[in-house]
Amino acid sequence: MIDRVRNLADMMENIMQEDRRIELLDERRAVIFAMVDRQSARAKLLARALVIFYVAAGAFIATSVSIGIISLYGPKFAWVALVLGISGAVLMFFGSMILIFEARMAVASLRLETSFLSKLVDYHSRQRV
């Protein structure tokens, strides 16, 4: 994803610096701006999902540790292991939902890009006729 954003930034810089005529310049700029926005939103979602998965892994590890501690001191605090285990499962589910949303954003970005490419192909095919 980082490489994709860098490529989009390079593309935008090339468009801004070149003096020659570029086909569908306004549309090209709009698509690149939209793609950069979408890529940054996807990066934020991925970072959020990673943090959630790390916290979930920590909750599962804490569950194991708490089970060991509870076995030493008696079942009085057995609810702690249960809460930690359920918390880990809920966090894993929440992280998965974020990744599903991010995947849908990736597909939407791909549709935006292919839509622009279709316009570009149409433009060039009309220029040849």
Q: Average pLDDT for residues 42-54, to the nearest whole number?
A: 95
The answer to whether the predicted template modeling score (pTM) of the entire model surpasses 0.85 is: no
Question: With the C-alpha atoms ordered 85, 88, 94, 99, is the resulting torsion angle positive or negative?
Answer: negative
* Contacts of residue 39, Cβ cutoff 8 Å, sequence gap at least 6: 1, 4, 5, 8, 109
Check residues 109 and 96 and name the one with the higher pLDDT: 96
Note the pLDDT of residue 31.
85
Run of H or E residues at 105: helix 78-128
Note the pLDDT of residue 16.
66
Res. 17: pLDDT tops 60 = yes
The tokens describing 51, both together, are 């943090």
The Cα 10–Cα 35 span in angstroms is 13
Least confident residue range of 16-25, 77-86, 101-110, 116-125 = 16-25
The tokens describing 91, both together, are 């966090």
Res. 45: pLDDT tops 80 = yes
